[in-house]
Structure 1
Amino acid sequence: MCPPCYSNHCNVLYIPLDEAAALLFSSPPMATTITDSQKPFSLDPYHVSEEFGFILPAPLAELPPYYQPWMDIAQHVTELIYSHMLRSHILKMPLLNTQLLESHRELRLAHLALSVMTMGYVWQEGEDDTVKMLPRNLAIPYCEVSQRLGLPPILTHADAVLANWRKRDPQGWKDNSSMPAGLVYEGVQAEPMEYSGGSAAQSSLLHCFDELLGVKHEAMSGILKMSFPVRVNVLSTCTGAFLTRMRNYMPPSHKRLIQDISLQPSLRGFVQQQACEPLTAAFQLCVTKLLALRSYHINVVSRFIIVPAARARQLRNQGNISQEETVSRAPTALEEKGTGGSGIMSFLKTVRDRTRDVFNLK
Structure 2
Amino acid sequence: MAAAEPDSKPFFSLESYHVSEELGFILADPLQELPPYYQPWMDIALRVPELVHSHELRFHVNKMPQLSSQFLQKHRELRLAHLALSMMTMGYMWQEGENNTVKMLPHNLAVPFWEVSQRLGLPPILTHADAVLANWRKKDPEGPFDMENLEVLVSLPGGDSTRGFFLVTLLVEMAAVPALRNIPTVINGVRCGDAETVARALEVISQSLQDMTDKLKLMQVYVEPSVFYGIMRIYLSGWKDNPCMPKGLVYEGVQDEPMEYSGGSAAQSSLLHCFDELLGVKHEAKSGAFLTRMRNYMPPAHKLLTQDISLQPSLKRFVQQQASERLNQAFQHCVTKLLALRSYHINVVSRFITVPAARARQLRNQNQELEGEMISRAPTALEERGTGGSGIMIFLKTVRDQTKGTLLPETSQ
For the Cα contact (< 8 Å) 2:105–2:250, is it kept in 1?
yes
Give matches, 1:127-146, under 5 Å: 127-146=98-117
Aligned-residue offset at 1:284: 1.0
**Secondary structure at 2:123's aligned position in 1?**
coil
Alignment deviations for residues 121-162 of structure 1 (CA, whole Å, 9 cap, x no partner): 000011011111000000000000000001110111111111
Partner of 1:206: 272
Aligned to 2:395: 347
Deviates more, 1:82-91 or 1:330-339: 330-339
* Distance in structure 2 (CA, Å) of the matches to 1:310 and 1:328: 10
Query: Paired residue for 1:105, among 52, 73, 76?
Result: 76
Q: Which position in structure 2 is the counterpart of 1:72?
A: 43
User: What runs of 5+ residues in structure 2 fail to find an aligned partner?
Assistant: 136-151, 157-231
TM-superposed deviation, 1:316? 2.3
Query: Which shifted more, 327-336 or 194-203?
Result: 327-336
1:272, 1:361 within 8 Å by CA — same for their partners in 2? no
Q: Secondary structure at the match of 2:24?
A: coil
* C-alpha distance in structure 1 between counterparts of 2:366 and 2:111, whole Å: 43
Shift of 1:305: 1.1
> Could you say if the C-alpha distance between residues 346 and 327 of structure 1 is closer, same or farther in structure 2, counting changes exceeding 3 Å?
closer
Separation of aligned partners in 2, 1:206 and 1:158? 14
Point out the structure with the larger helix share: 2
The equivalent residue for 1:93 is 64
CA contact (8 A) 2:364 2:376 kept: no
CA contact (8 A) 2:128 2:268 kept: yes
The one of 255, 278, 287 aligned to 1:189: 255
Structure 1, residues 163-189: CA drift from partner, whole Å, max 9, x if none? 134454200010001111111100111
Q: Does structure 1 retain, via aligned residues, the 8 Å contact 2:93–2:101? A: yes
Moved over 3 A (4+): 26-29, 165-168, 324-329
Deviation at 1:331, TM superposition (A): 1.8
Residues 55, 163 of structure 1: 8 Å contact kept: yes
Q: Aligned pair 1:173/2:221, yes or no?
A: no
Deviation at 1:276, TM superposition (A): 1.4
Q: Deviation of residue 28 (structure 1)?
A: 4.5
Contact 1:107 1:145 survives alignment (8 Å):
yes
Matched, 1:247 2:295: yes
Question: TM-score, length-normalised on structure 1?
Answer: 0.82
Please list every run of 5 or more consecutive structure 1 residues that lacks an aligned counterpart in the other structure: 1-25, 219-236
Letter aligned with residue 259 of structure 2: M
- My pick for the range that moved more, 278-287 or 327-336, is 327-336
- C-alpha distance in structure 2 between counterparts of 1:62 and 1:209, whole Å: 34
Q: Separation in 2 of the partners of 1:72 and 1:358?
A: 49
Report the Cα distance in structure 2 between the residues aligned to 1:292 and 1:306, rounded to whole angstroms.
20
Query: What is the rounded CA distance, in whole Å, between the counterparts of 2:390 and 2:134 in structure 1?
Result: 24
Instruction: Report SS of the residue matched to 2:338.
Output: helix
Determine if contact 1:308/1:330 at 8 Å carries over to the other structure. no
Amino acid at match of 1:203: S
Give the conservation status (yes or no) of the 8 Å contact 2:27–2:134. Answer: yes
d(CA) in 1 for partners of 2:240, 2:327: 44
| Partner Cα separation in structure 2 for residue 65 and residue 320 of structure 1 | 49
CA distance in 2, matches of 1:305, 1:133: 29
Distance 2:341 2:25 in 1: 18
Alignment of 1:13-32 (within 5 A): 28-29=6-7
Using the alignment, how far apart are the partners of 1:195 and 1:337 within structure 2?
A: 15
Change (3 A) 1:27 1:278: farther
The answer for the alignment partner of 1:231 in structure 2 is none
* Residue of 31, 35, 38 corresponding to 1:60: 31
- Give the RMSD, CA atoms, in angstroms: 2.1
Q: CA separation in 2, counterparts of 1:44 and 1:110?
A: 25
Instruction: Between 84-93 and 275-284, report the one with greater CA deviation.
Output: 275-284
Aligned partner of 2:110: which letter? A
Deviation at 1:107, TM superposition (A): 0.5
Q: 1:41 to 1:28 in 2, by over 3 A?
A: closer
Counterpart Cα distance in 2 of 1:190 and 1:77: 27
Q: Which amino acid aligns with 1:100?
A: F
User: How many aligned positions are there?
Assistant: 311
